[in-house]
Amino acid sequence: MRNKLMKSLRHSQMSLVLAILDLVWITAAFAAAILLQRHSFVDTAPLTGYASYLLILLPAGMAATFFIGLRPPRPQTFSRSDIVDVTLFALFLGGVGLLAHLLPLPLPKTSVATFVVFALSLAVLRVGARMALRDKADLLFKPVDTTKILGRDALGGDFPAASEAYRDHCILVTGAGGSIGSELCRQLLSLKPKRLVLLDHSELALYTVHRELQALDDRIDIRPALGSIGSPEFVEQVLTDNNIEVIFHAAAYKHLPMVENNILEGLRNNVLGTRVVAEAARNKGVERFILVSSDKAVRPTSVMGSSKRLAELVVQDLATRNNNTRFSMVRFGNVLGSSGSVLPLFEAQIRHGGPLTVTHPDVTRYFMTLSEAVHLVLMAGSLSRGGDVFVLDMGVPVSILSVAKNMIEGAGYRVKDAQNPNGDIEIRFTGLRPGEKMHEELLIGSDMLTTPHPKILRAQESYLSEIEMAGALQDLRRAIETRDEALAMDTLTKYVESTLPSDNRHIAG
């Protein structure tokens, strides 16, 4: 009840603000029309006699907005329906003024042209004001607080163990220019590492995050490394030159449709790139290696999800044959506000007047904040014993349709649907994309162990044998070298597990 009341209040506040602006525009447009007809922009005396027209036009404007349904143009959006409403609103008020002029009312007489000019001026003012307010819309009407859609209490508090694990260490973050990577860098700065090395293949992203971090703390040695994780020579040189002790591997292609349409390069980057960095970490005696994974790696139906699961298997394989580097993985759901997240898409669609696009009415996803994701990654590294898969207790999955509705109403608009055809913004269903799941999962098996943190669990899951892993990587390299997508898909089908009881694999735990 409280949420409904707040949404109703936000909508009423927006309507009131826009209605007041309409009163100003009506007054200004009528004044301009009279001045133009009188050919005087200095002498305002003619206006005083015609002010009585406003006693008719202003209530008519309110009636048009609240009763006839001609909505004020919204500062955040402007669609074809808004153009129709603006035109009808101007014509309606011009007609009301002309009718008052023609009827035997005690009003000063003017010409028909006055009301034509009035209607044109009003339309121009309404559209012009909208254009002027476009860049200020986010200041006028704040979007919904995204943390309220989690469906659970946010993960809070500090992790003292994480601080001790990274203080005065030389740390490498791959994919440092991305959403997760850049936030990792920000949080790591507060833990006072000795050196922070930023690795990314995007020159612009690397320049941007390096400049930002230097402004945050110029006392820490922050070094940019421009290059690809697919180059063993480059990665090993970065580790050697910077005496790297801890690696956070966040570099990956994560956009599902993009990887689905670029299978071989997605696999090259996500699987073989992970192998390069993890193997270099082992060879150089790095203390800790933490892989940033995804809930899409659980029983994947997409190439992206399969590539992330195979990357997990690569790390687990190295963990079983290594005594020096502690390898671990952290798996979580969608990150609010990250690149590729549905929330920035919805916000942009709201700004443009909709529609909001949802794949299916029943689709659900796990959500967490960017800060939570980074806390989990940092904690995972500090808790790792080797080969661990850490999972956050993320509560219940959230309906994407409910997210869309909440964001529309939180921004002060009404959902337009069959039950409310006069609403503001429509939600359109586009159908599940290739490889997309209706519901995501976080665990492959049912076995979980607790950790010192009540919201972080350690999963016990299957992994490939050394021989199986070697065969998978050999097949994958051959598929990429020969540009054979069919072989690549066969390799994923063969080696990315389905957790059936007959699955003859080892259990990590």
- pLDDT for position 3: 44
Among the listed residues 475, 444, 173, the one whose alpha carbon sits nearest the alpha carbon of residue 316:
444
* CATH code assigned at 438: 3.40.50.720
Check whether residue 115 and residue 205 sit in a common domain. Answer: no
The torsion of the CA quartet 73, 76, 79, 83, rounded to 10 degrees, works out to 20
Check whether residue 133 and residue 155 sit in a common domain. Answer: no
Check whether residue 384 and residue 433 sit in a common domain. Answer: yes
In a domain, 12, yes or no: no
Q: pTM for this one? A: 0.69
Which CA distances in Å does 442 have to 242, 457, 495?
A: 35, 11, 19
In a domain, 6, yes or no: no
Picking from 140, 171, 199, the residue at the C-terminal end of a domain is: 140
In a domain, 182, yes or no: yes
Check whether residue 287 and residue 407 sit in a common domain. Answer: yes
DSSP 412: T
Asked whether the CA dihedral 312, 315, 317, 319 is positive or negative, the reply is negative
Q: How many CA atoms lie within 13 A of 438 on its CB side?
A: 3
In a domain, 276, yes or no: yes
Check whether residue 47 and residue 196 sit in a common domain. Answer: no
Picking from 140, 173, 189, the residue at the C-terminal end of a domain is: 140
In a domain, 7, yes or no: no
- pLDDT for position 505: 40
Check whether residue 381 and residue 271 sit in a common domain. Answer: yes
Q: Which domain holds residue 65?
A: 17-140
Please give the structure tokens belonging to residue 413: 């608009």
Number of domains, the chain: 2
Check whether residue 466 and residue 447 sit in a common domain. Answer: yes
The residues carrying an active-site annotation are 296
> Phi then psi for 320, rounded to 5 degrees?
-75, -15
Check whether residue 279 and residue 384 sit in a common domain. Answer: yes
Check whether residue 288 and residue 172 sit in a common domain. Answer: yes
Alpha carbon distance 92, 87 (integer Å):
8
Residue ranges of the chain with per-residue pLDDT less than 50: 1-12, 40-45, 76, 135-141, 498-509
Check whether residue 48 and residue 183 sit in a common domain. Answer: no
Long-range CB pairs of 206-215, under 8 A, 24+ apart, other chains included: 206/176, 206/177, 208/177, 209/176, 209/177, 209/181, 209/182, 209/185, 212/182, 213/185, 213/186, 213/189
Check whether residue 213 and residue 64 sit in a common domain. Answer: no
- pLDDT for position 5: 40
Alpha carbon distance 124, 29 (integer Å):
9
Please give the structure tokens belonging to residue 435: 């490889």
In a domain, 394, yes or no: yes
- pLDDT for position 69: 54
At 172, which helix (H) or strand (E)?
A: strand 170-174
Picking from 125, 140, 155, the residue at the C-terminal end of a domain is: 140
At 56, which helix (H) or strand (E)?
A: helix 54-63
- pLDDT for position 449: 67
In a domain, 499, yes or no: yes
Check whether residue 96 and residue 213 sit in a common domain. Answer: no
In a domain, 234, yes or no: yes
Bridge-based pairing of strands 425-429 and 356-358 is parallel
- What secondary structure does DSSP assign to 366-388, as a single string? -EE-HHHHHHHHHHHHHH--SSE
What beta strand segments (E) does 362-447 contain? Answer: 364-365, 367-368, 388-392, 398-399, 415-416, 425-429
